[in-house]
Structure formats: C-alpha cells, structure tokens
Amino acid sequence: MKHIIVNNYGMFLGLKSQRLTIKQDGSIKNEIALNRIKTIQVLSRGISLSSDLINSCSQRGIKIFFNTFNSFSALHTLYEHKSVMVRKYQFEKCELIEGLELARTLIIGKLKNQRATLLYSSRGFENEFKHNVIEKFDKSISQLKNKKDISKDFILGIEGVSASYYFEYLKSMELLPRSFKYRTKRHSEEITNIALNYGYAILFNFIYKACINAGLEPYYGVLHSVRSAKPSLILDIMEEYRSFVVDRNVIKLRSKLSKTKAENFDKIKKELATNILKTLSKKYKYNHRKLTLESIIQRQVYKVSGYFCSQNKYKSYIFRW
Amino acid sequence: MIPINLIRQYKFCPRIVYYNLLTNIKPIFPRQVSLGNEYHDLQNEMLKSRKFKKFNIDFNEIISDKYFEDGDLNICGKVDLAFLCDDEIIPIEFKHIEKKPSYSHVLQLVGYGLLLEEEYQKKFTKAFIVYSNNMKFHKIDITYKHKKDFFEIIKSIEKIVRNDILPNSDANESKCIQCEYLNFCNDRF
Ligand code: SF4
C-alpha cells in the first residue's frame, strides 16, 4: 500500500480503469492501481485532478490531502463518519478529569520520545551538557507523572520548558543547521524551521486520517485550546510523534539543509517527504508484532477513542533509541 | 434487524459488520463479488425450468428468492430457494465455487432455515448447498450445535451494534489485503 506524493507544478492526476494516472506535459509518468493506494498528498500548487479520480478515491477511503505552507485541506467521503457514540463520549470526557489524564499521558509520551531523539542523535558523544539535559527531561517526566492535582497550565508549563531544553540542546550540539536560532511555528524564513513545519504538516495528515478513521472529532482536544478552526485533538496526538517522525529526519538532513538557502527549500523537500514516509512505513515492534509506524499510530488513535469510551487505558507509544 | 448474510462477514472479520451496519461507507467490491452475484442471478433465472428430481424430496411448494424477517429472532434475509414439505422446510443456497462449504456458509443457511421454521411453523433439520450448474450439491444435517453457534454470532453482532464502536479484529494480512475496507481500518500491517 502506497502513499502518493505529488509536488510538481503542472501535473495532472486522472483515472483510467481504476488506476491512478499521473501525467506531466501530456505524457503518462506513472500508473498505480487504486486498490494499492492509501493516500494522495498534493504538496504543491498548480496540480490538477479529475473528478472521477476524486470520486473513486473517496469511495475507497483514499484521502487526498492538499498542503502548502499556509493552508491545509483534505478530501474524503462524507459517508465515512463513524460512531456518533465515540464523539459523544469524546466531548464528555474531554471536559472531565479523564481528558486531563489523557493530556498528561500524551505529554509524558512526548517527553520520553524527545529524550530518545536526543540520546539517539548524540549517541557518539558524552558530555556534561548532554547529561544535564537528560536529567532535566527525567525530572520533568517524573514531575508530570507524580503531580496530584494536575491542570492544563501545569502540563503546558512543563511541556514548554522541555521544548526549549530540547531545541537548545539540538542547536548547541550542532544537530541542526547553524542558521537555527529558535523554533518558529509559522512564516519562518529560516530553513530548519521551514523543514520542521513542512514535516509536521505531513505528520498532521496522518494523524488527521487516523482520527477520522477512529470516528474522533479532530477539533476537540484535551490539551491544545479548543476553539473553532483549531484541530486541537490532532495537535494533541501529534505531540507523541513529532520528534521521532519529523525531527529525526530533519536532523539527518542537517548538512544538506545547511547548504541550502531557505528560498530553495523546494529542492530538498521531496527528500524530506520521502524520508518521513519511509519512517512511517517502516515496521516497529508493537504488542509482540511488527507493524508499520502508520498502523501503530492508527492503533494508538483507536486506543484514544477506546479510552474516551471507557474501554481501555491509554498508554503512549515510546520509541526505543 | 440483522441481515443473515452478515454471518459470513462476521466470521471473516467483525469489523466488516460494523462498517456495514454502522457507517454509510459504500465499498467498491472486487470482480469476484460481482461474478458471485451474476451466478446467483443466473441460478434464479434457471430455477424456473428445474424439476429438482436429484434432491429426492417430496415437496409441496418451492419458495424462491423471497425476503423474510422475524422480529423475535431479530434477523432478516432473502432465501435463495426452499422446499416446503408436509412437515418440514429445507433451505437451499447457491455457491459459485465447488469446494466444501465453510462453517460460516453453513451457519448462514441455518439463519435462513430458522426464519422459515418460524414463518411456516415446520421443522428444520436439513439444508442443501448447490455448487454447480448441473445441480451438484452438499447435504447438511442441521444440529443443535449449528443453531447454538448461529445465535452466539447474532448476539455478538447485536453487541457491536449496541456498543457502536469499531471492534477489534484479529484478521490476518491475507484477509485484509483482499478487503475493501482496508483503507478505513488503516491499522493492519
Ligand atoms: S481490513 Fe482487515 S480488519 Fe479491516 S475490516 Fe477488512 S478484514 Fe477486517
């Protein structure tokens, strides 16, 4: 099963006997059977799609995503709206202590995975700085674990402080390009931030898809503020995976990124997207089985919906470094 | 009411039942499914000219392609064919492949038999599965265990409907790869 990424201006995506055809300048570049496709991600402007293709994709559950730096949209069938009960329980639980407990678990998972990324990326060297940062992470994790009267502010406070240690460490150890000074979420003109934001946009698509498949309401979360137009549940769930799926791949590309000007990011984005998709399609251990990371994420999101419905506990997926 | 054809689907994977009953997803079925349906239609057409001597059953009436439902049993379905005899009813199903019928196929037939049993108040102890154009068939003697297993599956399906939450599935890769809901599950391998 494949994720198709298209990012060349002027491409045309059509349908021919239940096969996706990709054309450029009038000639067919590729043909793929629809029953082998998971998603189509349109990551550039100026790409056209046929309505027959869109219709067939929606019936087959192939979601089509459109991402540019400042917009996001997805096409999927209205039919696949799943359980109303899941949404009902989600709305109820998000307002109760269960919602806060889920937020706590997600951020503990995030910190553990950030810690693993730091250890993995700097496995060659030992120094006091590394030691201190890891200690700080351990302290934050145990503070979060042991806090009795947990609140959103407390969780966000710890998360924010840890994020600043994390990026400070990556910067100081030169695990990111020198141009990186601090983390900017939007409209950045610095190449590392552009790469991170681009990678998170791809991850966002996967989490969005997993939430829709699990019947969850993407705009009603447990930690990020709930307001219209903010997909807070997606942002909450993404926390666990950002460092493993995106940051590690940006770290791996640091020397290429260092040599590329921000305005030429287009030259490198295909490689970054391909690496992220490779990470998502690689198999990892999960409950005594090996599953692709994408399937693991989907199972974890099913567990979130099970948690809202009081069917199971939720445990973060922790990556081994 | 639970359509009896979901019994086989449930045995294949409980999630299919969920998708069928609780979402509006309209899957695109592969070619084999439409071949199966064509076979079914063809059989029903040919039925009109059949004498059914091969079965050696002394029937009074033939019921063909008729829909039944029963509120108490909470099941419904279209019976392919059935012999209505003096003291019993015998349901018949058509299959377009020759190999021995699977247990889930048999249980599905049990469902049709139970519907007929209720409707006509006659006993139901045997059924046939016809698998070729020249009326080759398997005869199945229906036991207490068949009926018990059938009702257990109905109970499980009722539970899926009551919970209204996607159930777990232990379907393996070879099942999922041919399943039209694979993209909607998205957690298989
Ligand atoms: S893809 Fe697999 S788990 Fe999902 S419904 Fe089909 S058989 Fe069941």
* Distance between CA atoms of residues A284 and A296, nearest Å: 8
How far A82 CA sits from the closest chain B CA (Å)? 6
Q: What is the tens place of the pLDDT at every residue in B112-158? A: 999 999 999 999 999 999 887 677 889 999 999 999 999 999 999 99
What is the number of other CB atoms lying within 10 angstroms of the CB of residue B149? 18
Q: Kindly tell me the sign of the dihedral angle through the C-alpha atoms of B95, B101, B104, B105.
A: positive
Q: Which tokens sit at B50?
A: 């059949």
CA-wise closest residue to A162 among A145, A138, A187? A138
Q: Which tokens sit at A66?
A: 């459109």
Helix or strand (DSSP H, E) at B11: helix B6-12
* Distance between CA atoms of residues B166 and A302, nearest Å: 8
From the list A209, A213, A292, the residue facing B189 with the nearest CB is: A292
- B185 CB near ligand 1 (under 6 Å): yes
* Residue A70 confidence (pLDDT): 64
Q: Is there a contact between A137 and A162 (Cβ–Cβ < 8 Å)?
A: yes
* Distance between CA atoms of residues B165 and A214, nearest Å: 9
Q: Which tokens sit at B177?
A: 């790869």
Provide the whole-model pTM. Answer: 0.85
Q: Which of helix, strand or coil describes residue A77?
A: coil
Residues of A in contact with B165 (CB under 8 A): 83, 85-86, 215, 305-306, 309, 311
* Distance between CA atoms of residues A285 and A289, nearest Å: 6
Q: What is the tens place of the pLDDT at every residue in A17-57? A: 999 999 999 899 999 999 999 999 898 889 999 999 999 99
Which DSSP letter does residue A307 get?
A: H
Q: Which tokens sit at B103?
A: 């247990």
* Distance between CA atoms of residues A147 and A154, nearest Å: 9
* Residue A187 confidence (pLDDT): 84
Which residues are registered as beta bridge partners of B76? B3, B69
Distance B181 CA to ligand 1 centre (A): 6
Residues of A in contact with B24 (CB under 8 A): 79-81
| CA atoms in the 13 A half-sphere facing the CB of B78 | 8
Helix or strand (DSSP H, E) at B82: strand B75-85
| CA atoms in the 13 A half-sphere facing the CB of A14 | 11
* Residue A243 confidence (pLDDT): 97
| Partner-chain contact A61 B26, CB within 8 Å | no
| CA atoms in the 13 A half-sphere facing the CB of B135 | 12
Which residues are registered as beta bridge partners of B95? none
- B188 CB near ligand 1 (under 6 Å): yes
Residue B91: phi, psi to the nearest 5?
-80, 150
Mutate to test the pocket of ligand 1, among B104, B177, B181 (most ligand atoms within 8 A of CB): B181
| CA atoms in the 13 A half-sphere facing the CB of B37 | 7
Q: Is there a contact between A248 and A276 (Cβ–Cβ < 8 Å)?
A: no
* Distance between CA atoms of residues A182 and A202, nearest Å: 21
- For A81, name the nearest residue in chain B, comparing CA atoms only: B23
pLDDT by residue, tens only, chain A of 321 residues = 888 988 889 999 999 999 999 999 989 999 999 999 999 989 888 999 999 999 999 889 898 988 766 667 788 777 666 678 899 999 999 999 999 999 999 999 999 999 999 999 998 888 899 999 999 999 999 999 999 999 999 999 999 999 999 999 999 999 999 999 999 988 889 999 999 999 999 999 899 989 998 999 999 999 998 888 899 999 999 999 999 999 999 999 999 999 999 999 988 988 999 999 999 999 999 999 999 999 999 999 999 999 999 888 999 999 987
Residues 6+ apart with CB under 8 A from A261: A191
From the list A35, A56, A80, the residue facing B184 with the nearest CB is: A80
pLDDT over 90, % of chain A: 76
CA A308 to chain CA centroid, nearest Å: 21
Tally of residues, chain B? 189
Q: Is there a contact between B141 and B107 (Cβ–Cβ < 8 Å)?
A: no
Determine the longest span between alpha carbons in chain A, in angstroms: 64
| Partner-chain contact A38 B188, CB within 8 Å | no
* Distance between CA atoms of residues A89 and A37, nearest Å: 32
Distance A228 CA to ligand 1 centre (A): 34
